[in-house]
Amino acid sequence: MKVLYTVFVGTERDRDGNYIPKSVSHCAIEDIKREAGMLFDGFSIGYVVGGWVDPAGKLVTEHSIRMEIVADSDKLARVRSLAGFAKELLKQNWVMVLQQAVHFEMV
Confidence (pTM) = 0.91
* HSE toward the beta carbon, residue 83, CA cutoff 13 A: 20
Is residue 107 included in any domain, yes or no? no
Q: Looking at residue 35, which CATH number applies to its domain?
A: 3.30.70.120
Confidence of residue 105 (pLDDT cuts 50, 70, 90): confident
Q: How many domains does the chain have?
A: 1
Q: Alpha carbon of 100 to those of 1, 53, 54, 62, 70: distances in Å?
A: 10, 25, 27, 24, 9
Instruction: Return d(Cα 73, Cα 44) in angstroms, integer.
Output: 18
**What domain range is 49 assigned to?**
2-102
Q: What is the mean pLDDT of residues 61-84?
A: 96
Which tens digits make up the pLDDT trace of 9-57?
999 999 999 999 999 999 999 999 999 999 998 999 999 998 889 889 9
